[in-house]
């Protein structure tokens, strides 16, 4: 099984960005843990702060991966284009969020992606990614 994790804007700052919400671990450290934990799964990782690059990666991933785990971050709440990209590919996508977006600001309660993904996992910290991987197994 080959899975791609795609992270959107500002998630490159995990470990230092709002640690009370996102924790103290960098995603690189966490990704290394995931690779050890799920050694039988080929995991790849991509991060961009640019909406178009995330869309390009979704398009490219459809040829190579069995599933995509997507944390589009703030684009979750604004990007019809990313939702359209998900609809345009057959590769299943699981939407993840580190925080419980429904317990935060009102604008974070709406996801343009949720209606077009296989499932949504949120609020379990970085463990949300573990749960998303397990959903493909």
Joined tokens for residue 68: 């995509």
Residues belonging to the active site: 22, 97
Pick the closest to residue 76 from 113, 50, 105 (CA basis): 113
Q: Using CA atoms, how far apart are residues 22 and 98, in angstroms rounded to an integer?
A: 7
Q: Using CA atoms, how far apart are residues 92 and 67, in angstroms rounded to an integer?
A: 5
Residues in the chain, overall count: 137
- The answer to whether 31 and 5 have CB atoms below 8 angstroms apart is yes
């Amino acid at each position: 099984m080959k899975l791609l994790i795609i992270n959107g804007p500002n998630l490159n700052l995990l470990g230092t960005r709002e640690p009370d919400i996102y924790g103290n671990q960098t995603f690189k450290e966490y990704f290394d843990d995931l690779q050890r934990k799920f050694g039988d799964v080929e995991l790849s990782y991509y991060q961009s702060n640019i909406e178009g690059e995330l869309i390009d990666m979704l398009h490219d991933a459809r040829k190579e991966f069995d599933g995509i785990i997507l944390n589009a971050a703030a684009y979750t709440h604004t990007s019809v284009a990313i939702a359209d990209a998900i609809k345009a590919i057959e590769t299943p996508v699981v939407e993840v969020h580190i925080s419980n977006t429904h317990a935060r600001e009102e604008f974070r309660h709406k996801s343009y992606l949720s209606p077009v993904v296989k499932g949504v996992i949120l609020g379990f910290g970085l463990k949300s990614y573990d749960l998303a991987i397990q959903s493909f197994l």
